[in-house]
Structure formats: C-alpha cells, structure tokens
Amino acid sequence: MKKVLITGGAGFIAHHIIAYIIKNTDWKIVTIDRLDISGNLNRLNEILEQFSIEDKKRLKIVFHDLKAEINSQIESAIGKPDIILHLAAASHVDRSITFPMEFVQDNVVGTVNLLDFARRLPKLEKFVYFSTDEIFGNAPEGVSYSEYDRYNSTNPYSASKASAEEFCVAYENTYKLPINITHTMNVFGERQHPEKFIPMTIQRVRDQQKVLIHANKEKTKAGSRHYIHAQDVADGLMFILKLKNYSHKGDFGNAKCPKFNLVGPEEIDNLTLAQTIAKVQKKDLVYELIDNHSSRPGHDLRYSLSPKLLKSLGWEPKIKLSKRIEEVVEWSLKNNRWLS
C-alpha cells in the first residue's frame, strides 16, 4: 500500500484530490497544513462523510508551516511517503503585490524545505509540484503556452511560483529527485473560497448585486481563462502519476523534469462565464466592465495554456465546462454556507 504526502490538504484543490485518492485507491494519505486563511478543516470533514470508518482512518493530518524546516518530530509524524504532492502555497495576487516577501517565504522557502525533506527519503517514487499558468504571464490572442515556454511573471505571486518551479528543476538535476511539475489554469469547484470569481459571482447573482468584470482599458473586452474543475485536476494528476518511466520527447533544452499543463476543456471570457452563472439561476446579470490593468496592476487580461501534450498521451477533461458550471452553481446554492 502506497503512502502519499499532500501539502495544504485543507485547501481547496488539495481536499478534492484527497477525496479522489480515497475513492479510487487504497493509499494512505498524510496531509500537512498550517490552517491559514485558505485552509479549512471543514472541507476535509465534509468529504470524509461519504466514506467508511476504515477509509477515514487512511487520512492523517499533521499541523506544520513549511516556512520552517521539517524537523525530526514532524518527519516522524509524516513517515516515509512514496509520493509527494506539493499544493500548499500562498496564491492571492492582490496580497502578493502588497506583501511580496510573504510569498517568497511561503512559496519559495516552503518549497525548498519540502524538497530537502524529499531528498532524505530512501525510495521516493514521485514529487509533483503544482505550479500555475500565471508564470507565463499574459497570453496574446491566439497564443497558448506550452510546458517549456519562457517565464514572464507579472506579479510577485507568479514570480514566487516560477522561482519554486526552478528549485524543483534544480533538485531534479542536482539530487536526481523524481520531480514532475504541473501548470494548472483557473480551478473551480465545490467549497472554494468565496473571494474567488466563480463563488463570488454565484453569490452576487443570487443577491442581485453588481458583478465586476475585468476587461481591457477600453472596457470593451472581458478577460478570459481556461477554467478547470478540481475533480478534473485530480483525474489528470492521477493520470500523470500512472505514467511509468516517462520523459518528454522533443527539444526542451535537455530538460529532464517532466512538465504537464492541466487545462480546462474550453476557453471562456469572464463576462460569458458570469452570464452562464446567471442563466443557471434564472436571473438577470447586473455587471460592469472595469479597466483590468489600471484597477489591479500586476493582473493579466488573458492566460492560456496548450493542452496538446496530455491530449497526445490520452488525457483530457471528460465533462463539458457548461455542465461543470451548472453543477457547481446548483451545489453552491444548496450549500450556501460556502458562499459566506
């Protein structure tokens, strides 16, 4: 039976991955979390309700802040995992612009502390670092970035994620750690923090409040993303974990560290997304297009990743985006405590 260590397990994406692993494997799971603003143990409590007592026992929670090294006591509590999934991160772009050093500590120092723990493990099978589409910066119309395209960080959050990604590559090269890196686009789903765009829009449409849509300077074109449901992220991750002795083909500058883009099934602009949310609720959308760059420096109008690599290997999301959005809207309205 494998043991997997998941960082940030009480966070939004990680708790979906935990549920997926419990449902689809017999693995034991250890999660470490510091329970800051993004961590919420109620997420784990809710997902565990669907499982048997024996399955619940497969999850162990360890409190630890990765800004501190993993000392002998924490190491003993974790044990010796076969797989490490590193999702813990500070991810609020606005806060990174105000407090950039916090993001260096959380995302860079925290990742290096985890990598140092990983290189002490005798038989680590895989270390997966969850990076972001934002490391590539704004994507001009018609451009979708591939896994090894250049970094172009436009805010301290994306710079900290790119820096941590480079440390992962360095530990692969220097210490031969079995590193994989994923780039995910905007992830949504049940139990997401209410400040995020989709749950915030669900709440504002429900209460007939104005929804602010970030747009270009002329306020004529809304920003766009490839939204992906957290369950699809978990499914894509499991696909990656099952790849055996995989190495990328092609010229990636002699890169040894496999990278994968986890991309939603289609691109959608935020105005169309908000209109879809309003349509599911059978309500009119009250909205205003606002100047994206002037109001929020460091934010990009469009992000886009290429899904071609994982598609060529046999994976892509199985459910249409419109169906996923409908499911999340209906679930959120029935479980409205998560919109507060």
Q: Which residues are catalytic?
A: 157
Helix (H) or strand (E) holding 287: strand 287-291
- Cα–Cα–Cα angle for 198, 215, 134, nearest 5°? 65
Query: Which residues, 6+ apart, have CB-to-CB distance to 305 below 8 Å?
Result: 133, 136, 144, 145, 146, 183, 185, 226, 261, 263
Structure tokens at 233: 């992220």
Instruction: Give the span between the Cα atoms of 37 and 290, in whole angstroms.
Output: 27
Q: What is the DSSP-derived secondary structure letter of residue 151? A: P
**Cβ-contact 264, 226 below 8 angstroms:** yes
- The three-class DSSP label of residue 304 is coil
Under 8 Å between Cβ of 17 and 182: no
In angstroms, the CA 301 to CA 267 distance is: 13
CA neighbor of 159 nearest in space, from 282, 33, 292, 298: 298
Cα–Cα nearest to 298, from 98, 97, 161, 99 = 97
Please tell me the distance from the alpha carbon of residue 322 to that of residue 279, in angstroms, as a whole number: 11
- Name the one residue in this structure whose structure tokens are 């494998």: 2
| Residue 169 host element (H or E) | helix 156-175
| Contacts with 110 (C-beta within 8 Å, 6 or more apart), sequence order | 65, 66, 67, 88, 89, 164
C-alpha closest to that of 108 among 71, 63, 161: 161
